[in-house]
Amino acid sequence: MPTDNEFTRILQWPGYRVYQHKIDEKNKILELWVRRKRGNRKLECSGCGRKFDDAYDSNERAVRDLPWSAFQTTVHIEVYRVKCADCGVRIEKVPLLPSKAPFSKRFEDAVGEACESASARQVARRFRLAESTVRSIDLRYLERWAGSRRRPALHQMGVDEIYMGKKGKFLTVVCNLETAEPLWFGRERKKETLNDFLGEELSGRQRRGIEAVCVDMWKPYRLSIEQWLPQCRIVYDKFHVMQHANRAVDEVRRAEFFRQGKRMRELVKGKRWLLLSRWVNLTGGKRQELNQLFALNRKMLKAYLLKESLDRLWTYHYEGAMLNYLERWIDQLRWQRLEPFQNLAKMLLEHLDGILNYCRTKVRLGVVEAVNGNIKSLLRRGRGYQNLRYLLLKAQRMAATRTEFVVFTKAA
């Protein structure tokens, strides 16, 4: 039978020694009782950090620790309270116990790390915990991580919205374009929404440090940016413009779908994804399918080509060349009677300055899209993101560790 001394050596809780243990072989439970080692007598107030020699009283807490072999392990620890002049009677600070919850820090870290690559449900099964418990542990783990790291400076910002379904409506997502990290989430997508971030989350100095914002051609955002960041450049980036172009293609598709007879309807059916894909990303078979469709419907072909050619706008790095290309692109629309594209052209002309800003300020393309994609994949994978703070920390951690940065690698 191992001695308490040997248990102490395996447990490795700095400053603590095992003075009692119990092994339940049938239920595979190991229990250890620990208290401070002789040299470890200074108590620290958890409120203010002041040191004390004497305790006010003591208490025993049971926390779950990492398992030993097949044994689930519980550690009973003696915790003191101190009588602090500033904080009153307070619990001492114990680094091994990060919260009031009955778990040791390293147990919480293990759960948090597991949550980085698996769903809360899977982690819950593995650790034999409730799913809600796993989420609270993960949230604390992420808060500790966020609290311990330095925030990179913000020079270029992305603003986007994510549709969360009928109930959740829209989520405004602000990200740092240089680090590809989400910074803030706000409910809805009004001017006031973005005001909350720009006006309240950022200091005057931080606001002045922002040189460019990539954003959708969505008026409320623009108004907020003009109010709070008068010096910064608004860039209507490729991702957002192409979203509108895709929408125009889709409108043409729907109009044709309803206008045409049954045969055409069969052909257009299920082609939405194909029409929204870029030609270069399609395999031979898929191209064939599209060509069949185009052979029968010239309008679809025209719409598709217009979208494809608009994409090339961002290959130009000189303002004049970019403008020239855009004008030629708009010229092609004449006599085409493609109303969705006429509207798109009008929109582009109204936002011309912000589109050309791409040539004046270098911004990373594809970042907003990647951040957006990562958040969507988190939302798809797990429920329980009613807590936006949790969703944000999760997405930040994902960006920092580059786990599953799928969309980003594809776009880069």
CA-closest candidate to residue 178, choices 157, 196, 160: 157
In angstroms, what is the minimal distance from the CB of 84 to Zn ion?
3
Residue 149, C-beta contacts closer than 8 angstroms, at least 6 positions apart:
400
C-alpha gyration radius of the chain? 29
In angstroms, what is the minimal distance from the CB of 47 to Zn ion?
4
Q: Phi-psi category of 337—alpha, beta or left, where left has phi over 0 and alpha has psi -120 to 50? A: left
How many Å apart are CA 10 and CA 114, to the nearest integer? Answer: 23
List interacting residues with Zn ion (CB under 5 A): 45, 47-48, 84, 86-87
- Closest to Zn ion by CB, 83 vs 187, is 83
- Closest to Zn ion by CB, 93 vs 286, is 93
- Closest to Zn ion by CB, 87 vs 333, is 87
- Closest to Zn ion by CB, 87 vs 276, is 87
CA-closest candidate to residue 272, choices 295, 289, 259: 289
- Closest to Zn ion by CB, 84 vs 330, is 84
In angstroms, what is the minimal distance from the CB of 16 to Zn ion?
22
Do 403 and 211 contact (CB within 8 A), yes or no? Answer: no
- Closest to Zn ion by CB, 44 vs 181, is 44
Task: Report DSSP state, residue 162.
Answer: E
CA-closest candidate to residue 388, choices 191, 196, 180: 196
In angstroms, what is the minimal distance from the CB of 80 to Zn ion?
13
In angstroms, what is the minimal distance from the CB of 15 to Zn ion?
20
Do 317 and 359 contact (CB within 8 A), yes or no? Answer: yes
Residue 261 token pair: 């007879």
In angstroms, what is the minimal distance from the CB of 131 to Zn ion?
36
In angstroms, what is the minimal distance from the CB of 87 to Zn ion?
3
In angstroms, what is the minimal distance from the CB of 92 to Zn ion?
10
- Closest to Zn ion by CB, 10 vs 48, is 48
Do 162 and 376 contact (CB within 8 A), yes or no? Answer: yes
Find where tokens 């679809």 sit: 300
Do 82 and 122 contact (CB within 8 A), yes or no? Answer: no
In angstroms, what is the minimal distance from the CB of 35 to Zn ion?
22
In angstroms, what is the minimal distance from the CB of 130 to Zn ion?
34
- Closest to Zn ion by CB, 82 vs 241, is 82
Task: Report DSSP state, residue 311.
Answer: G
How many Å apart are CA 127 and CA 286, to the nearest integer? Answer: 45
Burial class (CB in 10 A: 0-12, 13-18, 19+), 332: middle
How many Å apart are CA 5 and CA 15, to the nearest integer? Answer: 13
Q: Judging by DSSP bridges, how do beta strands 212-214 and 181-187 pair with one another?
A: unpaired
- Closest to Zn ion by CB, 41 vs 381, is 41
- Closest to Zn ion by CB, 48 vs 130, is 48
Residue 299, C-beta contacts closer than 8 angstroms, at least 6 positions apart:
252, 256, 338
